[in-house]
Structure 1
Amino acid sequence: MARWGITLPLTGVPVLDHAKLVAELPDLGYADAWSAETSGTDAFTPLALASQWSDRLRLGTAIAPVYTRGPATLAMTAAAMAEIAPGRFVLGIGSSSPAIVERWNGVEFREPFKRTRDTLRFLKAALGGEKVTEDYDTFSVRGFRLERVPAQAPPIMLAALRPSMLRLAGREADGAITNWLGAGDVPKVRAELGEGAELAARIFVCPTEDAAAARALGRMLISTYLTVPAYAAFHDWLGRGEALRPMHEAWAAGDRRGAGALVPDEVVDELVVHGSVAECRRKVAEYAANGVDTPVMALLPTGGDQLELVRTLAPNA
């Protein structure tokens, strides 16, 4: 059985206004609440609050960037979350993107695969209570030991899009978190990860029967995200390179608005779940049927009540 999750906080809803919904989520059939970190809330504060609003949800970061906090700070934050939500916290980490790391945080975005691997190895040691003195390929740590070692070290999952990171996640982490893929792409991703590790996928859901509006929003998001080099390479690997080539060419030429208009309908329909609430629920279930253990809905704004839409989209609705 898949664990259905929801991404919090919801667009346009104040963080503290989620308390009642979070308390309801388990009875609605949701098993997880996951956070993201770009330019809105940080990844941890909403989960810390949610841990006090419900003691039945698993809570995960999808993801905390490995560059924007020092390794020791990331370990301390994860340990604190593991303490306040014992046995219910999953630390999702990843490289993030050059825009977030370099342009917004002033940190060099260099060797993302190695930085993620090194951070994973450090965190496994630190959260296990070891005193860490190590020269990793991308940073060094001297004599760090957590003062408050969690009674149960949290699982660590990696943001992974392509074979090398997926294989690392399957080999050394507790699973992979992926993003911006269609239900039909899942078997290819799962094959690289392997069968033993958890696969979580953020799924963008736009519950509206106004297909034109849903596709317009989808095109804007796709042209923003999939022009990031890692996502562009991901979709080349998945086989959408030619379909997305006009978008990439327009974006590279500086025509950002025109780039979105060049995303084909079929690509939007594969990557953004839209339609009636029942149709959206069915499409999310396809991801689980194809090999996603944890489908995590990211609810896109439709003008409707976001809190109520979470309720109507629920597995038990």
Structure 2
Amino acid sequence: MKLGLQLGYWGAQPPTNVAELLRAAEDSGFDSVFTAESWGSDTYTPLAWWGAATSRLRLGTAVSQLSARPPTSLAMAALTLDHLSGGRHIIGLGVSGPQVVEGWYGQPFAKPLARTREYVRIVRDVLAREGVVTSAGPHYPLPLPDGVGATGLGKPLKPIVHPLRADIPIWLGAEGPKNVAQTAEIADGWLAIFYTPRLCGMYDEWLDEGFARPGALRSRADFEIAATVQCVITDDVAAAIDRYRPSTALYVGGMGAAEKNFHADLYRRMGYGEAVDDIGRLFRAGRRDEALAAVPDEMVRETMLVGTADDVREQITEWEAAGVTTLMVTAKDVETVRQLGALV
């Protein structure tokens, strides 16, 4: 089991204790650090800024949203950071959801599986630098074809910079069965959110479908499963659950539309369908306090590491047995980071 520090995306202001967290993580044997983005802070700027103060941690994006950058632009950022960090970058990608893709980026959300496959292929072609990068599309045509406002002067190109590594690992954020299966087929790792060891058998079925496809990139033996998990080492489990209850309510009720919310779908698969419906209805009606009250304790707890140090050590063993290779912890303080390093 490896440990990653998930810094996430910013709220109204940047976090103030990241330098201390990174020092503690590197000193405590953590393997990696990750940044995220929604519709505020981006992934690459904080990762490069903070990553410059590290010497060993792998630097990952979890996740960079596909619609935020064309695939060639993402590949440029990735090869640049990989050079600057001496080969420590992990590319983490995800499609986000229709509210963000169409509402913030002004792009269509349709066909996320096909878009992801095409995007990953182009990124790998850039990093391979075996020739000019072209794509027949339909989502990311290169060069841009005539008939869509193009001048017709587009030229196939390959990157000026020689990538330090042609095989920078690409991990994909995925929540549903088709997405996870495709991740196992075309990626080097799976970025799992709201993971629960209780459903590892279901996840294994999805993954095995992808591993079995012709041309699959990896096998179970060399595939990473990185699960984001909140960690609180405490004697007061109830207080810790209350601390993260708003986050659960937000993702289930507010991070997606009533018609399409991948996080809500995930919790339904976990058996919380009735609670999901109640939380969503109350959240969308602006009844936030009632939405929080509708979140069952176990719905929060089973996707966390929480309890005494001995409890958390036992839970880590369970997550490892379920197939998780990296715990991407959202520990908020230096002491928790150090305690986790000692436990693992």
User: TM-score range with shorter-chain normalisation?
Assistant: 0.7 to 0.9
Question: Which one of the candidate residues 245, 258, 264 is aligned to 2:290?
Answer: 258
Is the Cα contact below 8 Å between 1:5 and 1:34 reproduced in 2? yes
Letter of the 1:136 partner, please give it: G
Q: Which moved more, 1:204-213 or 1:255-264?
A: 204-213
Question: Which one of the candidate residues 144, 147, 162 is aligned to 2:160?
Answer: 147
Is the Cα contact below 8 Å between 1:206 and 1:275 reproduced in 2? yes
TM-score scaled to structure 1, two decimals? 0.87
TM-score scaled to structure 2, two decimals? 0.80
Letter of the 1:112 partner, please give it: P
Is the Cα contact below 8 Å between 1:32 and 1:59 reproduced in 2? yes
Identity percentage over the alignment? 31
Q: Which moved more, 1:249-258 or 1:144-153?
A: 249-258
Q: Which moved more, 1:60-69 or 1:46-55?
A: 46-55
Equivalent-residue separation in structure 1 for 2:338 and 2:181 (angstroms) = 35
Q: Deviations over 1:147-191 (max 9, x none)?
A: 113121211111011211111111111111110122323342233
- Report deviation, 1:278: 4.5
Aligned to 1:288: 320
Question: Which runs of 5 or more residues in structure 2 are unaligned?
Answer: 144-155, 209-219
- Report deviation, 1:252: 4.6
Q: Deviations over 1:181-213 (max 9, x none)?
A: 223233422332232421111012234433343
Q: Deviations over 1:99-142 (max 9, x none)?
A: 43333333333322222222111111111114222122322121
Is the Cα contact below 8 Å between 1:9 and 1:15 reproduced in 2? no
Aligned to 1:94: 94
CA separation of 1:253 and 1:25: change in aligned 2, threshold 3 A: closer
Is the Cα contact below 8 Å between 1:9 and 1:46 reproduced in 2? no
Aligned to 1:203: 229
Letter of the 1:128 partner, please give it: A
Aligned to 2:133: 132
1:147 counterpart SS class: coil
Aligned to 2:337: 310
Structure 1 or 2, whichever has the larger Rg, is 2
Q: Deviations over 1:16-61 (max 9, x none)?
A: 8544543443441211111111255321223223443232212211
Q: Which moved more, 1:87-96 or 1:30-39?
A: 30-39
1:150 counterpart SS class: coil
Equivalent-residue separation in structure 2 for 1:136 and 1:252 (angstroms) = 37
1:167 paired to 2:193: no
Alignment of 1:154-303 (within 5 A): 154-194=168-208, 195-196=220-221, 197-227=223-253, 228=256, 229-299=261-331
Letter of the 1:44 partner, please give it: Y
Q: Deviations over 1:74-116 (max 9, x none)?
A: 1110111111123321101010133433333333333222222
Q: Deviations over 1:241-262 (max 9, x none)?
A: 2443322333354433322211
CA separation of 1:19 and 1:258: change in aligned 2, threshold 3 A: closer
Aligned length: 311
2:330 counterpart SS class: strand
Deviant stretches of 4+, over 6 Å:
9-13
Aligned to 1:303: none
CA separation of 1:55 and 1:238: change in aligned 2, threshold 3 A: same
Letter of the 2:63 partner, please give it: I
Alignment of 1:36-51 (within 5 A): 36-39=36-39, 41-51=41-51
Q: Which moved more, 1:87-96 or 1:275-284?
A: 275-284
Question: Which runs of 5 or more residues in structure 1 are unaligned?
Answer: 301-305
Q: Which moved more, 1:184-193 or 1:123-132?
A: 184-193
Equivalent-residue separation in structure 1 for 2:104 and 2:307 (angstroms) = 35
Is the Cα contact below 8 Å between 1:36 and 1:42 reproduced in 2? yes
2:2 counterpart SS class: coil
